[in-house]
Structure 1
Amino acid sequence: MSPNESLKRRLEEGNDDRNPKKSKGQEDADKAKAMSEIAAKAREISEKMAALRRQGAMPPAKPTPTVVPQPPQAATEGMRIEEIKARIARSMAANTAVLGANIVTPGDRAKRGLKMEYHPSLMVDGSGQLNIAGGAKTLVPKPDFATVRANQRATVTKEPIKKEMKIEAPSADLTDPTKNPYYDPTLGGRATGPRERTRKTLKFVQQGRFINEANQLRAKAQLEKLKRDIAESVKKTGMAVELDLVADQSMRTEPPPAVEWWDAMLVPDGYDNYNPDAVLTSENSIVSSLVQHPVPIQPPAEAADPKLKPLMLTKREAKKLRRQRRLELQKEKQDKIRLGLLPPEQSKLKISNLMMVLGTEAVQDPTKMEAVVRAQMAARKQKHKDLVASQKLTDEQRKEKKRKKLLEDTSNLVQVAVFRINDLTHPQHKYKVDINAQQLNLTGVAILYSGMNMVIVEGGPKGIKAYKKLMLKRIDWSNQNEGDDAADGEDGGSAPKAPNECALVWEGDVKDRQFKFFRFKNLPTEQKVKEFLEKMRAVHYWDAARNYIAAGV
């Protein structure tokens, strides 16, 4: 169905709906009135189109075909078509007046694919852009992506606006030295504008410059030579000594003293007559064996993290930790057995659980099962013995362990104990005193003197404590020799001897050991005792033991 036929059908349907009950005469009058209105409108449209053609806004009109007379119904439809065309023409004229654009020429129709006229609202000018008056061009969207050359439109490039820098002259207060003490008038135009770059010029060397420099060097060398000649002539004439004396008087320094102040007390007679033996060994000497030990100062470094002290646990807590540790080990062992890493454990068989563990096997052959159980028990016992034997120390290892246990560090402090014994002639007593001192790593001496015996021991705190226990508690000093008992029987009339006993005279701390080892020393006279102890610097121990008075006496 063509568009004209569909338009006619809509018009007929509209006429039927608007005038459903009009008579035939009335319809003819309405049609005549409508035709007159259409003719008036057609004349008005033709006049406007003629005016537009004169202005060049529309192409020249085509020759109008001859109108064939139609029947009344066809004329009505044609009039309505003409009315629609006139309405379209009015809208086109209005758009032309607003946009002010020219209709595309017939030569541009080849560019259109469907060979149809542009819509009045899409009229373009010769450049291919919408000719929109005013600033409405900026409202038309343009694609930002690249297109083919045929579809690209001419873009209007805007030149960037250059801003001119205005150089303003400084104010009067700025250039006034009384108000602005920091203004420098010598800057001139540099304060108000950029400085022009001056072109470097050639600088020529003045005539005779290098000749003058050479003459100065020659004069300087001649002056040095003249000074050397004068110095040699002064040496020949003997005036150099007088000049030296003048220099010495102007720069005189004091000679070093015969004895420095820090050596004055040690070298009273000068360095030439110094005798170190006489000065250092005399009783009035300020030099002694004492050494001043300054207080140690920690180095400037970061302190190390303190070591964590082990927490003291009660017996109940220790048992609990042991139980938990053994339980974890047992679980780990069971997991390894499940994974096949360890063979499964055999049941611990005993005579008491024989029937409960073996069950029917023990009933079937009890003699055989009993033999198996006893063999397993013997194997367990032998395994225990082998473990104990492997952990047992040898005699040398046991002695070495005991020796290390008794070793003590006496580099900083040494403890000393002095004992007085009435009688030390019994061999058993002598053996105990000697062997215990050696085993406890003690040094000292046991002096055997008629009427009184003295024992001096030096060592660590543990050794001295054990030796005191030996001398004061463990040894029974009342035992007498058999020979002494026989002598007492023969001399029945003599007075009885005092009871034999051991007393602790003195104990304390010293800096160094005075003896290298422990030994017995038999000295018959007191003079020999003092001579021996003086070499060891321990005479005061003898004096203390000699003047000792037992408590309660």
Structure 2
Amino acid sequence: MAPKRHFIDGGHDSRPPSEKRNRVDGGPSNPEDLKKSIEEARRRAQAAFQRSGLNAQPAPSAPSPTAPPTERKETQPQGIHPRLLGDAAKIQEKFRSLAPKFASIQANKRLQSGRSQPATKNVLDAKPVPLSSANPYLSGEADRKEGPKPKSMHRALQFHRPGKYVMQAEQIRRDEQMQALKERIQETARKAGLQDELLDDERILRRPMPPDAEWWDLALLPGKTYDDVPDKPLAPGTAVPTTFPLIEHDTSPVDHLVQHPIPIPPPTANIQVQPHGVILTKQEMKKMRRQRRAAEQQDKRDRIKMGLLPPDPPKVKLSNLMRVLGNEAIADPTKVEARVRREVAARHELHERTNAERMLTDEERRARRIYKTKTEEAKGIWCHVYRVRHLVSPSHRFKVRKNAQQHHLSGLILVHPDLSLVIVEGSAKALKAYKRLMLVRIDWTDSGRPKDQDEGEAPAPESETFDLHDNTCECVFEGPVRERALPMGVVKMEDCASDLKVKERLGPKLAGYWDVAKRSSMSQDP
């Protein structure tokens, strides 16, 4: 710095001639030109800082003469107030300390290169440039449609293969013949009473045609058809024709009165459930018995003290003979022992006689069982329907019928070649035990031994023809009923060869059980 300062002040340069030559060749040798160059560089740096938004002035490293202010040709943009900048003011203050302490062209270049460039827009956000409408053969942007290119209409001719329509006609004729054959078979089955045997899908899914008049409208239609109903109401003063519906006629059954249907009591209306008392535990029951017996014993003692009852005779046994009788037993022990044995036998006989008097006879036991059955039936009558695939084993038939009788159930057992139907009615308690018998206790795959067959004999030939490895039993219906449909205490078993006989035996009230059982059988069959 000393040689440079000396050179600026106008002193002599003591450097070698080679260095002088290099200095003269690389810059101005006149001090006045050098000062102008430095001042021009400072002005450029200051202008660069102002354009970049930084108001900081470079720290002066050496005193320099002030240059006259020059007029700016272009107006500088006004900056934002510092209070409105927010966080931007802090960032500006941060970059202010990074300003160079001296003026140089390199600092100006760094500031110019560090200026933020305008952000380029995303190519995807750019809007499509509308097509020019100068070409009349191009459609506008609104008329353009996205999607695949439509197929060309200029295609080669496609001929049908020979015999195509002949085969279609033959297929239609075969379908008509098959339909006619089905109708002929159904008509023959309807005449023979075997309509239920032909349960095909077409007959089940086909809906019947609507009738000419519904049954609830027959009383209002003199002609029994809906053709008599006019499209428009009659004009006032026009005579009512005879075929006009009886809705607006004088003799019409429709009036301003409301007909209330007769209320039907529900199945559970007659159920009388008695309220249960307090249910005690075993410890509480023992305590209550102990207290009751103590009270009875104390009452008996009080009566004996008042002379209302004679005192009980001493209860002498062989174990307490010497302690109770004492001297008498010592005087004649044989006689005392015989008397004590007679008293023990008399007490035992009295005990047995009292127990026998308390026991119920066969008639009383039967009456008590019937009373309990009626009490359970007063809570409601229930019905169970079971479907058995094969009910051919004599052992199975005996168990099904005998257990229903023992539980006082009324039932009907129908044996059909396809399946067997078991219908039982009774109390809920009895049917609970019977359901366990049918679904758990009986092994339906075991044919068993006939009742009159010995262990060494061969099984009956009729039971050998049935394979019971896939025999099953299923409860298809259970629920309450209003009243019994079968006589109480009667269980009948009948063989029916066709569906018509089964429905005739069941009647209109129970025919639905057969339909439910057969429908469930069809759904389970492979």
Interval containing the TM-score (normalised by the shorter chain): 0.3 to 0.5
Q: TM-score, normalised by structure 2?
A: 0.43
* Structure number with larger C-alpha Rg: 1
Name the one with the larger helix percent.
1
Q: Which has the higher contact order (CA 8 A, sep 6+)?
A: 2
